[in-house]
Chains A and B, each alone.
Chain A
């Protein structure tokens, strides 16, 4: 049982990392959002599995939150937005897919190295999970860095949050406060982002962050 549970958790976490990679090479927003939905789905699954393993019922709640908000609500909403903004066909990457992937590999390796330093008596499950979570976080950050478009940056940010949730659930018996705060923050984040997008919409013709950057505090 132990071994199996471990393998499944491992599998789920690993596939989460994989999906993060998939995100990295989506250059169309539509596809990106879909992949993100998948990402959230996997997250929900792994959280649920953790709930089952640690038989911590409150984690199921987290799983549901993840499922509903991240896998369903947010992607659809973002779909709407990008359609309305008419940028759903936009192709935008700063760093080419190849280099991005290479960087991603490097990051995963790095997170492994860093995490496997952890002494073993912190139980292996947590250790593996943490390694994966860290790489998910880093990949999310990498994505934010390599994308030019506000929506995809938000997506990157949220996949980063997924990494956090993964880590949090991996941490055995972590009080509920964390998950709630995560969900809470993500919610707030999303609302604020929404507000901003609309505000920005009112003023600029695009949500391209560069357009924002054109209005610097100190133009010559």
Chain B
């Protein structure tokens, strides 16, 4: 009997195998979309029948949000990637073999991320995130240009160091848990850990959290561990940039949050909040300033991802129902918006034949749909209403200012600086006298505008189901 939970894992796994085997990029592209769609449906069915979670797999309100988000963005991205990849092959940037490899890896990545989300075992979760990293490394390097290889190499080295640190942290958690829970598998199972967390050895937990924060924080892309992120986004294929920004960062964040919950339950342990708040602020401010000197459009939005991850981590670090709610909302909105932006950027880069901001201008004149799509995306990501991110930023800032005025002020500063940076470039890209090739894009606009539509709707009206779900999770996070 295969329930939704296993479905979420098995479908992409099988998909990966099939795609690795099958030739013909058009077919495989469609198949890729199909598999992603099935995964998404399976994930949706989690709401209908909640499978009971064993000692390896687990489904609760917390990761349901993440799973659905992941599978959805995975699906839309696969739609986008279908049209993207075709173009890449036509201009000969990729060979069919590489495309086959790419599709297989895509599903492998989906599998890994889903596994990381549903894992009830910290070891298993670690393995999954591991796998996700390696697959993305391979995909970042897929163009085999100097820059791509450098980016992949950088990503690989920094990533595996992060992985190593995370593993060490995981081991320490086990060590902390063992005296209380006893040896063996039990001591690595979430549900068990949570129940006994209060009695763990605080010193061990502290060290563990430091390592986990740095390990998974590298994946989240927190400054100063972010170095891999901009280049990986800029040099890899755009669908992968979308998935990285939209999903992988979230998955790592998810892991981090799990351990934060663990630590929060132990009164004697160091408070995880302040550490996260500080790292969040640093990332936010740093990334905001980094936006100003960008010449590569994808790299710029990569930095904006760092900024938003900073905000999200800040929110979760502040804690409290309101801030947690805001953090979750912000994370969801950011995934959708940022991936939509990358969809737009991908097509733009294909139309203009370059990623250099200096060579792109007057887009709203030459390609109105793409151009205005990008404008809308940037408006959303800059946190302007009536789109979703405004709501979350409103909640974060206003709820923080009453508690910690200075922190909120710094955060506001970061947001404003980022606004300036984003629109400085947007003006150059979307408006002014058009330059460069003005070919019409044979693009699939559906995913982009679907995302933006969702972001828009949520910014105005949040369905009660979503609200209650988020609020439950926010309460879980304490």
Contact = CB atoms under 8 A, between A and B. Distances in A.
B207 interface: yes
Nearest to A156: B161
A203 B146 contact: yes
Interface stretch (A60-68, A83-91, A210-218): A210-218
Interface in B200-223: 201, 203-204, 206-207
Contacts of A115: 207
B289 to A, nearest CB: 15
Nearest to B268: A119
Interface stretch (B4-12, B23-31, B149-157): B149-157
B126 interface: yes
Nearest to B130: A185
Nearest to B163: A185
Interface in A140-186: 141, 144, 153, 157, 160-161, 163-164, 167-168, 171-175, 177-178, 181-182, 184-185
B172 A130 contact: yes
A122 B201 contact: yes
A126 B179 CA distance: 11
Contacts of B123: 175, 177-178, 181
A130 B134 CA distance: 28
Interface stretch (A11-19, A31-39, A93-101, A192-200): A192-200
A196 B160 CA distance: 14
Sort chain A's interface into a size bin. Answer: 35 or more
B188 interface: yes
Interface string B181-213: 001110110000000000001011011000000
Interface in B122-164: 123-124, 126-127, 130, 134, 137-138, 141, 144, 146-147, 149-154, 156-157, 160-161, 163-164
Contacts of A212: 146, 149-150, 153-154
A144 B146 CA distance: 23
A218 B294 CA distance: 8
A2 interface: no
Nearest to B356: A218
A172 B183 CA distance: 7
Dominant secondary structure of chain B at its interface with chain A = helix
A114 B163 contact: no
Nearest to B182: A173
B172 A177 contact: no
Q: What does DSSP make chain A's interface, helix, strand, loop or mixed?
A: helix
Contact of A196 (B153, B170, B188): B153
Contacts of A141: 161
Q: Which of A134, A161, A189 has the most CB of B within 10 A?
A: A189
A171 B167 contact: no
Nearest to A207: B153
Contacts of A133: 168
Contacts of A121: 179
A137 interface: yes
Which of B123, B156, B164 has most A Cβ within 10 Å?
Answer: B164
B226 interface: no
Contacts of B201: 118-119, 122
B150 A216 contact: yes
A212 B150 CA distance: 6
Contact of A178 (B171, B172, B203): B171
Q: Which of B137, B176, B204 has the most CB of A within 10 A?
A: B204
B138 to A, nearest CB: 8
Contacts of B187: 173
Contacts of B156: 192-193, 196
Interface of B: 121, 123-124, 126-127, 130, 134, 137-138, 141, 144, 146-147, 149-154, 156-157, 160-161, 163-165, 167-168, 170-172, 174-176, 178-179, 183-185, 187-188, 201, 203-204, 206-207, 230-231, 234-235, 294-296, 299
Given A133-B168, A171-B175, 6 more contacts: A173-B183, A175-B123, A181-B130, A199-B149, A212-B150, A213-B150
